[in-house]
C-alpha cells in the first residue's frame, strides 16, 4: 500500500522568515505519528500545509496519491474530506448546539439527510463519552468536553488522516486525561494520526513513530523509545534534556 | 451645460396631459403654504391658469430661489412660475416669456435705521436670498463695506431679518408687506427701491414652441383682465405697465 | 471663492474640534465624577444633541434663539452649533475611554499624593484620549462634512461657495463635483494630520 | 393671511414627519441591501473587489451627504439621467447608508475569531458555506446593536433631503416658520419630533448592547 | 520616638462582609514588618486603609501622630506624601516614559523643577539598577523591571513608610529575585516597610516583626523566627503547615 501522506522538499516562508526548509516525510495508513520540537520550529505550519490552510512556496504534498492544488476549489474540498484537523482552541461553532456542530459539515458537504446526520452524531458523541450533551451549547461545556466534541466533529467527515495541533495545551491539567484517552482509543482503532504534542509521556506510549522538528526540517525520526534512549543529534539531546526540568 | 432635447417640452406636455411647474412656497403672497400645507398665492393661481389653457393637469413643484433655474436646466420642470425676474445672466441659460406680474424689489429696515440709498448700507448687514434678482441688484449697488448675508431660500432670509440677525433686508415689496404686518414689533418700513423687476415665466432654452404658446396665453389673459384681477387679489394693486 | 470656502470650512472645523473636545472632556468628567445634578444635565445635553439632526440644531440656534433675546452672527451660530454637536459625541467617546482606564492607575496616582484633578488630567485622561483617538478623529471628520450645512445660514464655507457659483453661472454639476473632490481631499488630509498630531501633542503629558 | 395655531404647526410637522420616516426606511433598507452586497464583495478573496469597495466607502464617507444629495439630484440630471426628489434622495441616502453599514458590518465579521474560518475550512466547507453557516450567524448577533444605533444617524441624515426640495420634517419646519414667523417654537418642535423618533432607538441599541455583553460573559 | 503608624480598633466592612474586626498595631520608625495570612483575611484592606485608599468604619489610624481625615483633601495629600504604596500590578502610567513616571508626582505635588526631578529620577533608577531605562516606555520592560520602576517612583516622594502589597505575585518566578533584592536594600537603609508577602523565606530573613492576620485581626505577632519556631495559636500552626506543601 502506498503512503497516505507524502511530503517532499517542502519550503515555506512568512515574509522574511523561513519556516519550513525542505522537510521530507511519508505517513502510512494506520500510523500514529507524534511531532515534537521547540516553539517556532514549524510544527503547526507543517500540519496546516497538509490540510491546505497554509500555502507553501515549493515542494509537494500528496494525500492519497493526489497533489494538493490550491487553485482548484473542488480539489481542496476533496482533500479536506480526507484530512481532518483539531485545533488547540477547539473552535467549536458557538451558535450551534453540539449535535449541530457535528452534523453541519456532513450535511453540507456529504449531503447526508438530517436523520443520517443525527444518528451519526449520537454515535460519535457516545464514542467520545458525551452522549448526553447532544443538545448543549458549546459554551456550557468544559474545555475537555469541547475538545472531545471537536474530535467527534472531525470524525463525522470520516477522514483518512487526523491532524492534531497541541490539542491539550489549552486545557486545565485535570482535563487533559479525558481528551488523551479519546485520542488513544482512536489510535487503537487504526486511525492515521499526526499529532503535535507536548505530552511526551503520552506520545511515547501511543506513537508508532516520533518526529523531532528543528528549524523547519525533520531533524530526527524513529520509534519513540529509540529516539529517547538514543538521540543522535545534539539538538534533540538538548531538547530532551530541557523537557526534564 | 446646454442640452440637446430629444423632443420639445410642449410635445411632452400635450402628450402626457400634465405640466410640471416650479412654484415658490417661501414667497408670500406669490407662493406660500396655508395651515393645510397646500401652496397658494399669485404664482400658484397663474400656474393653474396656464395649465388650464394648455389643457394639462398642473404638477406643482416647490422650489427655492437658488434652485429654480437648475430645475429648468435639468428638465425637472417644464416651466418656472416663481417670481422669476429677467437678467442677462439668466438669459444665457434659459428663455423667458413676456411678463405676467409686477415685482418691486426694495430695501427694508426698522424705522430707527437711517437708510436713504444704497450708499447708506456701508457698514450695515443686510439679508438677501442667494441667486435671486434681489441678490444680483443688491450686489451691483451695495458699497464694499456693506455686509451682504446670502441665504439659501426666502424663508431663511426673512427669518434672519425678523430674528434680528441682520439690520436690513432686500426683498420684494409684497413679501416685506406680509412680514411687516405679521411682525409689527419690528417697526420695519420701506427704505429705497432696488429695482422694478416684473416677473416672467421661465422655459428651457430654445423651447420656442412652448414659449410662443405661453406668450399667447399671457397676452390673452392680460387683454381680458385676468392678470389685472390676479394682481388685485393677491397684491392689492394694479399690474401697472408690464413689459412684453 | 472656493479657496475662501475651504478656509472657512477648515477654520470652523479647527475651532469646533478644539472647543468640542474640551467640552467633551469637561462633560465626560461631569458624567463620571460630577454631582448628581451635573450628571443629569450633561446626560440630557448629550442625548438631546445626539438624537436630533445637526441642521435642526443650527436652525434653532440661528433662527430660534434670537426670539429668546440671544443673537448670534451666522458664523458664531455655525461655530456654536458645531461645538455643541461635537461636544455631545466627544463626551460619550471620551467617557468610554475613561471608563476603560484600570482602577489601579487612579489608585497609584492617589497614593503618590496627586489630587483628584491632577490624577484626572495627568494620569487618566491622556491614555483615555489615546485609546479613543481614532473614534474622535472620525467624529471630527463627520462634523467637518456636516459643516456643509452651515452654508444654509449664509456662512461662506465650501458648499456655500459651490452653491453660489452654481447660482451665478448655473453649472451645478461642475461646482458640486469640484466641491465633493475638495471635501474628499480635506477629509483624507485631516485624518492624516490628526493621526499625526494626536500622539505628539495630546497624549504625552 | 393664514393663521397657524400651535396645533396646526404640530399637526403639519407630524404629517411631514411621515416622509422623514419613509425616507429613513428606504435609506435603511436600500442601504442594508447594498451594504450587505459590499460586505460580501469585501470578504471575497478577490483583491480588486476589495479595493473597489474600500474606494466606494472612502468616497461616501469622505464627502458631505449634502453634496451627495445635490449631485444625485442636479448632477445626474445634467448627465441626462432624470431623478425625482424621491429617487435622488433614495439614491444618495442609500449610497451613504450602505458605505457606513458595510463598514460597521465588516468590523463585526472581523471580530469573529480566525479559528472559526479555519475550522469551517478544515471541515471541507466552501467559502459560501463558511460564510453562510459559520461566520455570518455569529457576526449577526454582534452587528445588531451598532446597526440599530446607526438607524439614528440615518434618520438625522434625512433632514438634509430638505435641500433638494423634499418636504420632510426639516423643510416643513422652514416653510411653516416663514408663514408664522415663530422660528423658536417651530424649530423646537422639529427638534422634539426628531428626538422622539431617535431617542427610543438609541435606548434600544444600548439595551441590546448590554444584553449582548452579558451573554458574552 | 513615638510610633510612625498607630492603628487602634480598626473596623471595616464591605456591605455585609466584615473584613477588619478591630486590629491594633504600632509600627516604629525603621521597622520592617511582614504581614502574612490566608487569602481574604484582610491584609490588603489593612494596607489600603493606612494610605487612605479605603475608608474605614470605626477606629483610628495615626500616621506621624496625625489622624487620617478623609474629608480634608489637603490632609489626605499630606498623608500620602508620608505613606508610599507599591501594588501587585505595578500600575505604571503607560503613556509616560520611565523617567517621567518617576518625576510626575514630585513635580506636581512637591513643585520640583524639571532639573531637580530629572536628577532625582536618575539617582533612583540607578538605585534599583535601571539607569539605562530612563527613556523607555513601561510596556517595553519586563514585569520585574516595571516593579522596580514602581518602587523608584514611590521613593521619589520620599515617604516615611512604604506599603508593599504582594509586589512579586504577578511576576514570573525568575524575576522575583531582582525585586526582592531591591526591597532588601531598602530595609537595610532603614526605610520603614510594611509588606504583605507570600515569600515566606524572604520575609523571615528581612522582617523585624511578622504579623499573622486572621479574620480581620492581628492574630499573632512577633519576631519571625519565634513565630515560626513556636506558633501559639492553632490557626497560625495550620497556616504554616499549609505553606510547607
Ligand atoms: N501567519 C504567520 N505570519 C507570520 N509568521 C508566522 C505566521 N505563522 C507562524 N509564523 C512564524 O513561523 C514560525 C513557525 O511557526 P509555527 O507556528 O509553525 O511553530 P510551532 O513549531 O508550531 O511553534 P509552537 O510550539 O509555539 O506552536 C514562527 O517563527 C512563527 O513566528
Ligand atoms: N471592594 C471590595 N468590595 C467588596 N468586598 C471586598 C472588596 N475588597 C475586598 N473585599 C473583600 O474583603 C475581604 C478581604 O479582602 P482583602 O483583599 O483585604 O484580603 P487579602 O487578605 O488581601 O487576600 P489576598 O491574599 O487574596 O489578597 C475578602 O473577602 C474580599 O472579598
Ligand atoms: Mg504551534
Ligand atoms: Mg490582597
For C44-83, write each residue's pLDDT tens digit.
999 999 999 999 999 999 988 887 878 888 899 999 999 9
**Sheet holding E209-214: strands in order across?**
E83-86, E161-165, E192-196, E32-37, E209-214, E217-222
Interface of B with D (CB under 8 A): 1, 3, 25-26, 28-29, 32-37, 61-64, 67, 70, 73-76, 152-156, 158-159, 162-163, 178-179, 181-183
pLDDT at residue E67 is higher than 70: yes
Q: What is the pLDDT of residue A193?
A: 96
Residue of D nearest to A150 (CA): D119
Nearest Cα to Cα of residue E88 among E1, E153, E171, E26 = E171
pLDDT at position A244, please? Answer: 65
Alpha-carbon gap, residue E217 to E8, rounded angstroms: 11
> Is D1 part of a structural domain of the chain?
no
Cα E46 to its chain centre, rounded Å, is 11
Percent with pLDDT over 90 in chain D = 62
Does the residue E98 lie in any domain? no
For chain E positions 132-171, those within 8 Å of chain C (CB to CB) are 150, 153-154, 157
DSSP structural state of residue A84: E
Answer yes or no: is pLDDT of B132 > 80.
yes
CB count in 10 Å sphere of residue B112: 8
Site of grid cell 446626560: C43
Instruction: Render pLDDT for B190-219 as a digit per residue (tens, 0 to 9).
Output: 888 888 888 999 998 888 889 999 999 999
Nearest protein Cα to ligand 2, atom 30 = E40
Question: Can you give A75-138 as a three-state secondary structure string?
Answer: HHHHHHHHEEEECCCCCCCCCCCHHHHHHHHHHHHCCCCHHHHHHHHHHHHHHCCCHHHCCCCH
Within a domain: E112: no
Ligand closest in space to the Cα of E165: 4
pLDDT for the residue D138: 93
Residue with the smallest CA separation from ligand 2 atom 5 is E14
Which segment of B184-188, B217-221, D61-65 scores lowest on mean pLDDT?
B184-188
Length of chain B: 244
In a domain, A167, yes or no: yes
Most confident of the following: A91-95, B232-236, D142-146: A91-95
Burial of C34 (0-12, 13-18, 19+ CB in 10 A): middle
Contacts of E234 (CB under 8 A, 6+ apart): none
**Ligand 1 pocket check for A41: Cβ under 6 Å:** yes
Contact D92, D72 (CB under 8 A): yes
Q: Which of D100, D64, D205 is nearest to D142 (CA)?
A: D205
| Torsion angle of C-alpha atoms E230, E233, E237, E240, degrees rounded to 10 | -80
Report which bound ligand comes closest to the CA of A217: 1
Specify the range with the lowest mean pLDDT, choosing from A18-22, A145-149, C15-19, D212-216.
D212-216
Does E130 map to a domain?
A: no
Distance from the CA of A41 to the center of ligand 3, in angstroms? 8
Residue scoring higher pLDDT (B186 or D1): B186
State percent of chain A over pLDDT 90: 84
Tell me the C-alpha distance between C43 and C64, whole Å: 23
Q: Do B150 and C168 touch (CB under 8 A)?
A: no
Determine how β-strand A32-37 pairs with β-strand A192-196. Answer: parallel
Domain contains A137: no
CB atoms within 10 A of CB E238: 12
User: How far apart (Å, rounded) are the C-alpha atoms in residues B204 and B7?
Assistant: 12
Contact D187, C59 (CB under 8 A): yes
Percent of chain B scored above 70 by pLDDT? 97
Burial of A14 (0-12, 13-18, 19+ CB in 10 A): exposed
The pLDDT tens digits of the residues spanning B76-93 come to: 889 999 988 888 888 888
How many CB atoms sit inside 10 A of residue A64's CB? Answer: 16
Residues A12 and A18: their CA atoms lie apart, in Å, by: 6
Residue among D163, D173, D198 whose CB faces C51 most closely: D198
Confidence label for B3 from pLDDT (cuts 50, 70 and 90): very low
**Ligand 1 centre from A20 Cα, in Å?**
10
What's the mean per-residue pLDDT of chain E?
92
Q: How far apart are CA C188 and CA D65, in angstroms?
A: 16
Residues shown for chain D: 217
Instruction: Say how many CB pairs under 8 Å bridge C and E.
Output: 70
> What integer pLDDT is reported at residue A148 of this predicted model?
95
The model carries a pTM of 0.83
Strands, E assignment, C86-166: none
DSSP letter for E104, please: H
Mean pLDDT of chain D: 89
pLDDT of residue A6: 93
Element (H, E) at E141: none
- CATH code of residue E221: 3.40.50.300
Contact C176 D64 (CB under 8 A): no
Neighbours of chain E (3+ CB pairs under 8 A): C
* Contact yes or no for C199/E90 (Cβ under 8 A): no
Q: CA of D20, closest CA in chain A: separation in Å? A: 37
pLDDT at residue D64 is higher than 50: yes
Residues 6+ apart with CB under 8 A from B134: B105, B128, B170, B171, B172, B194
Q: Which of E38, E53, E49, E42 is nearest to E20 (CA)?
A: E42
Confidence of residue B5 (pLDDT cuts 50, 70, 90): very low
Specify the higher pLDDT residue, A16 or D74: A16
Provide the pLDDT for residue E1: 74
pLDDT for D38 beyond 70:
yes
Residue D62: DSSP 8-state: S
Q: Supply the range of the domain harboring residue E185.
A: 5-91+160-243
Q: How many structural domains are present in chain A?
A: 1
**pLDDT for position A110:** 92
Q: How much is the average pLDDT of A208-233?
A: 93
Q: What is the CATH classification number for the domain harbouring D129? A: 1.10.3720.10
Distance between CA atoms of residues D173 and D179, nearest Å:
10
Is residue E165 situated within a structural domain?
yes
pLDDT of residue B180: 86
| Ligand 1 lined by A40 (C-beta under 6 Å) | yes
The H or E element spanning position E204 is: helix E200-206
ipTM of the complex: 0.81
For residues E114-143, average pLDDT: 93
Read off the C-alpha cell for E43. 491584609
Chain segment E191-229, per-residue pLDDT in tens = 999 999 988 889 999 999 999 999 999 999 999 999 988
Number of domains in chain D: 1
Q: What is the pLDDT of residues C28-40, one digit of tens each?
A: 999 999 999 999 9
Integer distance in angstroms from the first to the last C-alpha of chain D?
A: 64
Q: Cell numbers of B31, please?
A: 407662493
Q: pLDDT of D100-154, one tens digit each?
A: 999 999 999 999 999 999 999 999 999 999 999 999 999 998 998 899 989 999 9
Cell 453562510 belongs to residue = D132
For residue C101, the cross-strand partners are none
> Across residues C156-171, what is the average pLDDT?
78
Chain D residues with CB under 8 Å of A91 CB are: 113, 115-116, 118-119
C123, closest residue in chain E (CA to CA): E93
pLDDT for residue A171: 86
Tell which D residues from 14 to 73 touch B, by Cβ distance under 8 Å: 15-16, 73
- Beta strands B188-196 and B104-110 are antiparallel
Instruction: Determine the distance from the C-alpha atom of residue E59 to the mean position of all C-alpha atoms in its chain, rounded to a whole number.
Output: 21
Chain C residues in contact with E138 by the CB 8 A cut-off are none
CA A78, CA A67: separation in Å to the nearest integer? 11
Within-domain flag for A201: yes
Between B29 and E104, name the one with better pLDDT.
Answer: E104
Report how far ligand 3's centroid is from the alpha carbon of A148 (Å): 20
**For range A107-132, the mean pLDDT:** 94
Q: Rounded to an integer, what distance in angstroms lies between the CA atom of residue E110 and that of residue C118? A: 13
Q: Over 60: is that where the pLDDT of C153 sits?
A: yes
In a domain, E123, yes or no: no
How far is the C-alpha of E92 from the C-alpha of E154, rounded, in Å? Answer: 11
Cell readout for B204 is: 428651457
Q: What is the mean pLDDT of chain B?
A: 86
Percent residues over pLDDT 70 in chain C: 96
φ, ψ dihedrals at E64, nearest 5°: 50, 40
Distance, C-alpha E78 to centroid of its chain: 17
For B137-173, the DSSP string reads: HHHHHS-TTSEEEEESSHHHHHHHHHTTSSSEEEEEH
C172 vs C128: which has the higher pLDDT: C128
Chain B contact for C71 (CB, 8 A cutoff): yes
Mean of per-residue pLDDT scores for chain C: 90
User: What own/partner pairs with CB < 8 Å and gap ≥ 24 does C171-175 have?
Assistant: C171/B1, C172/B70, C172/B73, C172/B74, C172/D70, C172/D74, C172/D75, C172/D78, C173/B1, C173/D71, C173/D74, C173/D75, C173/D78, C173/D79
Confidence band for A245, pLDDT divided at 50, 70 and 90: low
Average pLDDT over every residue of C142-152: 90
Which residue, among A148, D84, A143, A144, has the nearest Cα to A134 in the 3D structure?
Answer: A148
| Domain range for D211 | 6-215
Contact present, E and C (at least 3 Cβ pairs less than 8 Å): yes
State the cell numbers at D5: 395655531
Ramachandran category for residue B81: left, alpha or beta (phi over 0 → left; psi -120 to 50 → alpha): beta
Amino acid at each position: 500500500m502506498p503512503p497516505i501522506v507524502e511530503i517532499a522538499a517542502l519550503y515555506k516562508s512568512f515574509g522574511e522568515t523561513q519556516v519550513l526548509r525542505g522537510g521530507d516525510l511519508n505517513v502510512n495508513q494506520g500510523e500514529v505519528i507524534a511531532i515534537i520540537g521547540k516553539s517556532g520550529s514549524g510544527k503547526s505550519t507543517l500540519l496546516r500545509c497538509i490540510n491546505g490552510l497554509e500555502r507553501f512556496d515549493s515542494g509537494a504534498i500528496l494525500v492519497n496519491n493526489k497533489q494538493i492544488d490550491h487553485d482548484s476549489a473542488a480539489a481542496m474540498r476533496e482533500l479536506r474530506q480526507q484530512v481532518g484537523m483539531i485545533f488547540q482552541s477547539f473552535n467549536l461553532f458557538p451558535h450551534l448546539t453540539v449535535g449541530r456542530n457535528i452534523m453541519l459539515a456532513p450535511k453540507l458537504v456529504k449531503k447526508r439527510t438530517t436523520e443520517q446526520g443525527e444518528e451519526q452524531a449520537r454515535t460519535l458523541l457516545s464514542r467520545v463519552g458525551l452522549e448526553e450533551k447532544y443538545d448543549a451549547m458549546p459554551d456550557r461545556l468544559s474545555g475537555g468536553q469541547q475538545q472531545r466534541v471537536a474530535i467527534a466533529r472531525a470524525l463525522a467527515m470520516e477522514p483518512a488522516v487526523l491532524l492534531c495541533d497541541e490539542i491539550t495545551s489549552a486545557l486545565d491539567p485535570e482535563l487533559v486525561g479525558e481528551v488523551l484517552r479519546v485520542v488513544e482509543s482512536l489510535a487503537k482503532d487504526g486511525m492515521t494520526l499526526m499529532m503535535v504534542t507536548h505530552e511526551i509521556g503520552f506520545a511515547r506510549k501511543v506513537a508508532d513513530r516520533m518526529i523531532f522538528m528543528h528549524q523547519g526540517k525533520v531533524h530526527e525520526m524513529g520509534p519513540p523509545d529509540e529516539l529517547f534512549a538514543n538521540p543522535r543529534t545534539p539538538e534533540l539531546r538538548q531538547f530532551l534534556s530541557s523537557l526534564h526540568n | 451645460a446646454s442640452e440637446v432635447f430629444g423632443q420639445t417640452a410642449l410635445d411632452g406636455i400635450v402628450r402626457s396631459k400634465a405640466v410640471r411647474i416650479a412654484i415658490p412656497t417661501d414667497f408670500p403672497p406669490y407662493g406660500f403654504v396655508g395651515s393645510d400645507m397646500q401652496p397658494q398665492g399669485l404664482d400658484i393661481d397663474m400656474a393653474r391658469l396656464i395649465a388650464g389653457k394648455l389643457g394639462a393637469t398642473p404638477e406643482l413643484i416647490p422650489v427655492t430661489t437658488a434652485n429654480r433655474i437648475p430645475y429648468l436646466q435639468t428638465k425637472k420642470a417644464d416651466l418656472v412660475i416663481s417670481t422669476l425676474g429677467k437678467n442677462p445672466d439668466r438669459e444665457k441659460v434659459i428663455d423667458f416669456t413676456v411678463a405676467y406680474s409686477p415685482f418691486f424689489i426694495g430695501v427694508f429696515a426698522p424705522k430707527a435705521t437711517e437708510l436713504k440709498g444704497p450708499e447708506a448700507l456701508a457698514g450695515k448687514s443686510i439679508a438677501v436670498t442667494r441667486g435671486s434678482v434681489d441678490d444680483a441688484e443688491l450686489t451691483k449697488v451695495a458699497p464694499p463695506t456693506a455686509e451682504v448675508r446670502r441665504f439659501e431660500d426666502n424663508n431663511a432670509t426673512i427669518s434672519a431679518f425678523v430674528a434680528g440677525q441682520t439690520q436690513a433686508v432686500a426683498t420684494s415689496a409684497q413679501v416685506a408687506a406680509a412680514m411687516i404686518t405679521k411682525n409689527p414689533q419690528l417697526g420695519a418700513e420701506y427704505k429705497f427701491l432696488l429695482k422694478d423687476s416684473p416677473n416672467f415665466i421661465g422655459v428651457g432654452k430654445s423651447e420656442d414652441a412652448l414659449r410662443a404658446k405661453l406668450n399667447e396665453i399671457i397676452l390673452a389673459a392680460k387683454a381680458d383682465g385676468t392678470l389685472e384681477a390676479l394682481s388685485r387679489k393677491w397684491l392689492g394693486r394694479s399690474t401697472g405697465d408690464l413689459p412684453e | 471663492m472656493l479657496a475662501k470656502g475651504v478656509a472657512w470650512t477648515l477654520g470652523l472645523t479647527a475651532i469646533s474640534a478644539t472647543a468640542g473636545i474640551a467640552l467633551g472632556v469637561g462633560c465626560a468628567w461631569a458624567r463620571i465624577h460630577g454631582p448628581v445634578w451635573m450628571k443629569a444635565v450633561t446626560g440630557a445635553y448629550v442625548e438631546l444633541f445626539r438624537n436630533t439632526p445637526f441642521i435642526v440644531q443650527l436652525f434653532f440656534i440661528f433662527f430660534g434663539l434670537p426670539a429668546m433675546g440671544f443673537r448670534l452672527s451666522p458664523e458664531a451660530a455655525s461655530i456654536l452649533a458645531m461645538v455643541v454637536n461635537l461636544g455631545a459625541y466627544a463626551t460619550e467617546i471620551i467617557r468610554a475611554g475613561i471608563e476603560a482606564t484600570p482602577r489601579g492607575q487612579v489608585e497609584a496616582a492617589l497614593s503618590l499624593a496627586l489630587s483628584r484633578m491632577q490624577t484626572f488630567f495627568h494620569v487618566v485622561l491622556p491614555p483615555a484620549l489615546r485609546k479613543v483617538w481614532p473614534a474622535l478623529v472620525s467624529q471630527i471628520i463627520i462634523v467637518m462634512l456636516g459643516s456643509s450645512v452651515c452654508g444654509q445660514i449664509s456662512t461662506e464655507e465650501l458648499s456655500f461657495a459651490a452653491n453660489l457659483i452654481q447660482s451665478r453661472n448655473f453649472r451645478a454639476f461642475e461646482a458640486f463635483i469640484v466641491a465633493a473632490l475638495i471635501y474628499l481631499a480635506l477629509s483624507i488630509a485631516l485624518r492624516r494630520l490628526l493621526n499625526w498630531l494626536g500622539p505628539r501633542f495630546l497624549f504625552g503629558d | 393671511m393664514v393663521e397657524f395655531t400651535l396645533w396646526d404647526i404640530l399637526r403639519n410637522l407630524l404629517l411631514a414627519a411621515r416622509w422623514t420616516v419613509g425616507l429613513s426606511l428606504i435609506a435603511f433598507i436600500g442601504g442594508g441591501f447594498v451594504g450587505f452586497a459590499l460586505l460580501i464583495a469585501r470578504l471575497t478573496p478577490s483583491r480588486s473587489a476589495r479595493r473597489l469597495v474600500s474606494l466606494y466607502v472612502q468616497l461616501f464617507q469622505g464627502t458631505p451627504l449634502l453634496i451627495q444629495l445635490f449631485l444625485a439630484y442636479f448632477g445626474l440630471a445634467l448627465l441626462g439621467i432624470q431623478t425625482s426628489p424621491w429617487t435622488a434622495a433614495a439614491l444618495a441616502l442609500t449610497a451613504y447608508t450602505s458605505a457606513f453599514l458595510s463598514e460597521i458590518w465588516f468590523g463585526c465579521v472581523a471580530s469573529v475569531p480566525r479559528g472559526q474560518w479555519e475550522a469551517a475550512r478544515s471541515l471541507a466547507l466552501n467559502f459560501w458555506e463558511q460564510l453562510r453557516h459559520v461566520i455570518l450567524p455569529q457576526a449577526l448577533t454582534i452587528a445588531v446593536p451598532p446597526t440599530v444605533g446607526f438607524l439614528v444617524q440615518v434618520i438625522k441624515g434625512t433632514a438634509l433631503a430638505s435641500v433638494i426640495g423634499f418636504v420632510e420634517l426639516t423643510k416643513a419646519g422652514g416653510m411653516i416658520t416663514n408663514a408664522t414667523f415663530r422660528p423658536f417654537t417651530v424649530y423646537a418642535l422639529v427638534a422634539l419630533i426628531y428626538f422622539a423618533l431617535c431617542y427610543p432607538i438609541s435606548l434600544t441599541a444600548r439595551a441590546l448592547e448590554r444584553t449582548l455583553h452579558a451573554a458574552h460573559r
